[in-house]
Amino acid sequence: MAAQGYKEIQLTTPLKDSLPLILHNDEASITCSAGIEFPEENLKEGMLCFRSDLQRLFQRRRGVWVDILASLDNDIIELGEAIVEAFNEVDEVVLKTKADQSEFEKLKTEFEAFKNSVSANYVSKAELQAQIDEAYASLAGT
């Protein structure tokens, strides 16, 4: 069986001559233009062709016949790759966040040590003033 295909019916075609074309188009539609070749005439974007020799269904996309199953396989592979890439990005963000958290904890520990050092060596203004007054008093007494 050679390729079936859609036959354009002109508005000027007499009704008695249209019936065989309508029946042909109906059969071509319900069998997805089945045959051992692709249709070559009246090609429409999105039309289907079942290649009986290959037992595969093709669709007309962007001017070429695309094996639907192979296309679906490619779509699934691309989707899988996109999912893996998204998970990798999430992992990277999580690892960076953990690294940032670790860095934050380190800075926090260093700050606490600095704060404790300042507190240990801190002399209040009142204490400093008392020490200055004491020093002046001892100088005045000499």
pLDDT at 4: 65
State the chain's maximal CA–CA distance in angstroms.
Answer: 138
Looking at the structure, tell me whether residues 79 and 137 fall in a common domain.
yes
Grouped pLDDT means (10 residues each) for the chain, 142 residues: 68 81 74 85 89 91 91 76 81 79 84 80 74 76 64
Looking at the structure, tell me whether residues 124 and 85 fall in a common domain.
yes
Burial tier of 39 (Cβ tally within 10 Å: 0-12, 13-18, 19+): buried
Which of 42, 62, 82 lies at the terminal end of a domain, its last residue? 62
Kindly report the backbone phi and psi dihedral angles of residue 60, in degrees, each rounded to the nearest multiple of 5, phi listed first: -80, 115
pTM above 0.75, yes or no: no
pLDDT at 86: 83
Residue 32, domain member (yes or no): yes
Which residue range is the domain that position 26 belongs to? 15-62
pLDDT at 58: 92
pLDDT at 65: 93
Residue 10, domain member (yes or no): no
Looking at the structure, tell me whether residues 78 and 112 fall in a common domain.
yes
Residue 127, domain member (yes or no): yes
pLDDT at 63: 93
2: helix, coil or strand? coil
Which of 44, 62, 80 lies at the terminal end of a domain, its last residue? 62
CB atoms within 10 A of CB 19: 10
pLDDT at 60: 93
Looking at the structure, tell me whether residues 112 and 132 fall in a common domain.
yes
Looking at the structure, tell me whether residues 57 and 76 fall in a common domain.
no
Could you give the CA distance from residue 12 to residue 69 in angstroms, rounded to a whole number?
40
Q: How many domains is the chain partitioned into structurally?
A: 2
Residue 2, domain member (yes or no): no
